[in-house]
Amino acid sequence: MKISAETNADGTSAKLALSHNAQSIDADCDAAEIDTMIADLVALRERMSPARKVELIAGQTRVYECDNLLWDTRPAPTRRGVMLAIYHGGLGWVTVSLSRAQLEDLVTDIAFSLAELAQLPGFQNRAAEAPAEA
């Protein structure tokens, strides 16, 4: 099965083509319809087997890079923790609710990653090398 898509000239809609075994279906969809399809497919995949691998393996997961990462945090009283939301241009807001323990683990993991980054060539703390001001 193959899905191909192309946006129209002003980017407000897309023509989708689904082809399988010499059959083809074409459809024009607006952004709201695409958003609904994405959400439905994500929910469907979550219910399917085999489940996705839980372990993050470098090089096997697409990395989304951006120059201006948007995120938001809010209290999550039902988890006695925090809601963490990260914005992706295609997916919108991806939100998780973290317990206090999960949040503390996340902060610790970030601290360890930053420490590892500081050990890589070219990433040493330049501030430590700067001469002291008189």
**pLDDT tens digits, 51-106:** 988 888 888 888 877 778 899 999 998 888 999 999 988 888 999 999 999 999 99
d(CA 104, CA 111): 11
The structural domain count of the chain equals 2
With respect to residue 59, please indicate whether it lies within any of the assigned structural domains: no
Say if residues 71 and 84 touch (Cβ distance below 8 Å).
yes
Say if residues 98 and 104 touch (Cβ distance below 8 Å).
no
What pLDDT sits at residue 64?
77
What pLDDT sits at residue 127?
47
Domain that holds residue 105: 71-129
Buried b (16+ CB within 10 A) or exposed e, 53-68: eeeeeeeeeeeeeeee
pLDDT in tens, 8-23: 999 999 999 999 998 9
Compare 31 and 133 and report the one with higher pLDDT.
31
d(CA 63, CA 84): 19
Instruction: Using the predicted structure, report yes or no on whether residue 129 has a pLDDT greater than 70.
Output: no
pLDDT-derived band at 115, boundaries 50, 70, 90: very high
pLDDT-derived band at 133, boundaries 50, 70, 90: low
With respect to residue 108, please indicate whether it lies within any of the assigned structural domains: yes
With respect to residue 86, please indicate whether it lies within any of the assigned structural domains: yes
With respect to residue 62, please indicate whether it lies within any of the assigned structural domains: no
What pLDDT sits at residue 125?
60
